[in-house]
């Protein structure tokens, strides 16, 4: 399975949109960019669809016309920009590789889609986008994919994390979320199966600690989650562990990220990173 990390920043991005801190000024001076969260699997399934999808296609070279499926974690603006779907057809997009797009998300995500496309969606564009509501602990299957949605510990209504399977490969996408709720571990243990080939972890805080009520994670919380996953057989020595969704506040510069990789045995994602699992 091909995994492309197109956007690896938190909501405000890096350099943060309106920020004038030393870290962001330095990033701006050196052309360092972390855009908002988007991961494309096998060129056909996008996890989330951020405001930076345009940038991912224009600069990152992503072929969004080839997407068959968009799986949305939650309705926050850095993960779901519904308005852009009004451009998927009519005179705005020609010779797309795929005619239909299946969009999966919570009730709230589907509501945001409807609100943000209400004024400008052309019927001939809208009819090729099909919405499916996902609920925690109700698995879904489409194409060669199987998706096990679970509860994220995060704000917005019914935020989701996912276990995804295709062709015998397994990916756990744990972003945006704090340390997982107990129900998720119970569900994963009941689903069973082989250890994940890849675990993608929310590491907004990096070396900082989120505290008890955090709705994101840092390295320490990531390590605890990985330990729990190992205990139920969902991760082992061969599982790749990728951290992403970095905030400017945590200063994810080269030095901090290589220290994180060495200390915690993780891979720090960057915009444009490609993995084969």
Strands 69-71 and 45-47 come out as parallel
- 41: tokens are 């699997």
Which runs of consecutive H residues, i.e. helices, occur in 141-218?
182-191
Q: How far is the CB of 159 from Zn ion (least distance, A)?
A: 7
Name the DSSP letter for residue 51: T
Q: Return the number of the residue (19 or 223) whose C-beta is nearest Zn ion.
A: 19
The position carrying tokens 């989120």 is: 210
Binding mask 47-86 for Zn ion (x = CB under 5 A): -----------------------------x-x--------
- Looking at 39-47, 51-59, 169-177, 222-230, which segment touches Zn ion (CB under 5 A)? 169-177
How many Å apart are CA 138 and CA 150, to the nearest integer? 8
Cβ-based nearer residue to Zn ion, 49 or 68: 49
Using the rule CB under 5 A, is 17 a contact of Zn ion?
no
In degrees to the nearest 10, what's the CA dihedral of 196, 200, 201, 202?
-150
Shortest separation between residue 20's beta carbon and Zn ion, angstroms: 7
Q: Return the residue of 68, 241, 248, 251 that touches Zn ion, per CB under 5 A.
A: 248
Number of chain positions touching Zn ion (CB under 5 A): 8
* Cβ-based neighbour number of residue 63 at 10 Å: 13
Least distance to Zn ion from the beta carbon of 213, Å? 15
Question: Rule CB under 5 A: which of 170-209 touch Zn ion?
Answer: 176
CB of 16 to Zn ion, least distance (A): 4
Q: Does 223 bind Zn ion (CB under 5 A)?
A: no
**Residue in 1, 6, 24, 172 binding Zn ion, rule: CB under 5 A:** 24
Give me the DSSP letters along 210-273: --TT-SS-BHHHHHHHHHHHHHTTS--TT-EEEEE-B-GGG---HHHHHHHHHHH--EE--TTE
Contact set with Zn ion (CB under 5 A): 16, 19, 21, 24, 76, 78, 176, 248
């Amino acid at each position: 399975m091909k995994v492309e990390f197109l956007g690896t920043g938190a909501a405000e991005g890096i350099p943060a949109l309106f920020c004038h801190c030393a870290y962001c000024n330095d990033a701006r001076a050196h052309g360092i960019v972390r855009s908002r969260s988007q991961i494309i699997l096998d060129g056909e399934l996008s996890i989330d669809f951020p405001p930076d999808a345009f940038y991912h296609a224009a600069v990152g070279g992503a072929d969004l016309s080839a997407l068959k499926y968009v799986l949305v974690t939650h309705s926050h603006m850095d993960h779901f920009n519904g308005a852009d779907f009004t451009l998927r057809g009519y005179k705005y997009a020609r010779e797309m590789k795929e005619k239909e797009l299946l969009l999966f998300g919570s009730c709230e995500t589907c509501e945001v889609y409807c609100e943000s496309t209400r004024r400008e969606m052309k019927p001939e564009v809208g009819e090729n986008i099909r919405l499916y509501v996902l609920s925690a602990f109700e698995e879904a299957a489409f194409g060669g994919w199987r998706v096990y949605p679970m509860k994220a510990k995060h704000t917005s209504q019914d935020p989701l994390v996912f276990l995804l399977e295709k062709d015998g490969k397994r990916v756990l996408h744990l972003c945006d979320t704090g340390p997982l709720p107990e129900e998720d571990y119970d569900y994963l243990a009941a689903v069973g199966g082989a250890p994940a080939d890849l675990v993608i972890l929310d590491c907004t805080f990096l070396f900082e600690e989120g505290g008890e009520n955090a709705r994101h994670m840092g390295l320490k919380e990531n390590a605890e989650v990985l330990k729990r996953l190992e205990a139920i057989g969902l991760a082992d020595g061969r599982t790749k562990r990728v951290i992403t969704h970095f905030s400017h506040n945590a200063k994810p510069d080269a030095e901090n990220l290589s220290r994180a990789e060495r200390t915690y045995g993780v891979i720090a994602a960057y915009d444009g990173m490609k993995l084969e699992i």
